[in-house]
Amino acid sequence: MNMLYIIKKNLLRYLLAPVPAFTFLAVYAFGSGVNNPANFTWLMGIVIFIVTLAPAVVIEMEEERNKGYAFLATLPFPIGEVVRIKFLMLLVSIVALGLAGFAILAGMGLPAPLLSETVKILLLSLTLCIVIESLVLTLTYRYGAIPAVTSLMVVTLLMNVGTFISFRDGLPGKAAIAGVGGAVKDLGWFYQALFAAAGLAAFFLMMRLAVRIKGSRMI
């Protein structure tokens, strides 16, 4: 079980940001009261995305700076195991924060229909986190942490600009966003589960790809 020491080495990074972020979210949810639980849940999804992706990327930047994989490649274990461990740490952190999110939603005392809607939003957010973050991590192994994160930021910026422009009067953006919100609300649990399963499948596919990429470029 010597992989535990890879986990131990990186665990602190995964605890640093989520603990204060979720403490803040919990205080906000239970303290001041939330006017719009749906928006709050989307915000929670964004927080989960940031506080789980950031440590994964920082860890890889640190590995790049130290040429950590060149060091690890001298030790008696396949480097692919390290990649798998890092992917699984990412998945566990997303799921753990997702559970914390569900606990917050459950503790907010929302009426049943609203609780159902927010849970669906959170589940969708977690699925998106799993897919996008595994993609970013795979790109990190292929092109390096900085290019991968820069690509993500550029795509996010373009999406935000696009959303901002489409929100202007006469354009269909606002209606489209409202439509997405409505679609999530009306999405059946079967399709939610199917979507989550597809997200997990994509995650494991990315992990496999990353293992292959890292296995062929350790130095």
Nearest in space to 122 (alpha carbons), one of 192, 50, 32: 192
Binding residue (CB under 8 A) for another protein from 24, 30, 77, 143: 77
Residue among 67 and 174 whose Cβ is closer to another protein: 67
12 lies in the site for another protein, by CB under 8 A: no
Residue among 79 and 105 whose Cβ is closer to another protein: 79
Gap between the Cα atoms of 22 and 20, Å rounded: 6
Binding residue (CB under 8 A) for another protein from 15, 23, 27, 78: 78
The end-to-end CA distance of the chain, in Å, is 25
Number of residues that bind another protein (CB under 8 A): 21
163 lies in the site for another protein, by CB under 8 A: no
Binding residue (CB under 8 A) for another protein from 39, 66, 156, 163: 66
Gap between the Cα atoms of 18 and 55, Å rounded: 10
Binding residue (CB under 8 A) for another protein from 9, 153, 163, 178: 9
Binding residue (CB under 8 A) for another protein from 12, 74, 170, 188: 74
98-118: burial string, b at 16+ Cβ within 10 Å, e else: bebbbebbeebebeeeebebb
The answer to whether the beta carbons of residues 121 and 110 sit under 8 Å apart is no
For the record, the structure tokens of 109 come out as 């005392």
Ranges within 168-197 binding another protein (CB under 8 A): none
* Run of H or E including 213: helix 189-216
Give the binding site for another protein (CB under 8 A).
2, 4-5, 9, 62, 65-68, 70-71, 73-78, 215-216, 218-219
